[in-house]
């Protein structure tokens, strides 16, 4: 008696059982059913990665919305001869928030890649 992975839920089960006790998947299904489950699992992975990429682009845009007015104000102030500190500008908050969101999303993407296993 050895342990194998269920084709549906990827949990460890005995090779002697006819159905998975976790998801009730029949271990004696034909090859088409197993291939269909593999395709569905890949599509779910692909869709999740796409959504995460779109959110990371949004985080980058948020950071850019903070950088552009901050630099613009800095250049104008230098032109008038003022002593300027960029750290007081409201754009710094957008840059920090955008960067933090970007880092969190990238960690989520790495975790998603790590948990997806090709059957």
What was the pLDDT predicted at 53? 97
Question: Crossing angle of helices 91-115/31-80, nearest 10°?
Answer: 160
Full domain range(s) for residue 95: 3-115
- Tell me the per-residue pLDDT of 58-112, one tens digit each, with 9 for 90 and over: 999 999 999 999 989 888 988 998 887 888 888 999 999 999 999 999 999 999 9
Q: Would you call 75 exposed, middle or buried from its count of C-beta atoms within 10 A (0-12, 13-18, 19+)?
A: exposed
Q: Which of 103, 22, 57 is nearest to 8 (CA)?
A: 22
- CA distances in angstroms from 108 to 9, 10, 31, 55, 61, listed in the order given: 21, 21, 32, 11, 19
What was the pLDDT predicted at 111? 94
What was the pLDDT predicted at 119? 53
Q: HSE-up of 115 (CA within 13 Å, CB side)? A: 14
- Tell me the per-residue pLDDT of 1-55, one tens digit each, with 9 for 90 and over: 678 877 777 788 887 887 888 887 776 766 777 788 888 889 999 999 999 999 9
Query: In total, how many domains does the chain have?
Result: 1
What was the pLDDT predicted at 30? 63
| Cα 54 to Cα 57: distance, rounded to the nearest angstrom | 5
Looking at the DSSP bridge assignments, the partners of residue 13 are 4
What was the pLDDT predicted at 12? 85
């Amino acid at each position: 008696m050895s342990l194998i992975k269920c084709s549906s839920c990827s949990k460890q089960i005995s090779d002697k059982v006819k159905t998975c006790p976790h998801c009730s998947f029949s271990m004696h299904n034909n090859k088409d059913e197993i291939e269909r489950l593999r395709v569905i699992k890949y599509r779910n992975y692909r869709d999740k990665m796409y959504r995460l990429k779109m959110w990371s682009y949004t985080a980058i845009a948020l950071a850019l919305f903070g950088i552009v007015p901050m630099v613009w104000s800095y250049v104008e102030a230098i032109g008038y001869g003022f002593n300027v500190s960029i750290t007081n500008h409201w754009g710094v908050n957008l840059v920090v928030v955008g960067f933090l969101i970007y880092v969190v999303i990238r960690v989520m993407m790495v975790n998603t890649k790590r948990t997806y296993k090709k059957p």
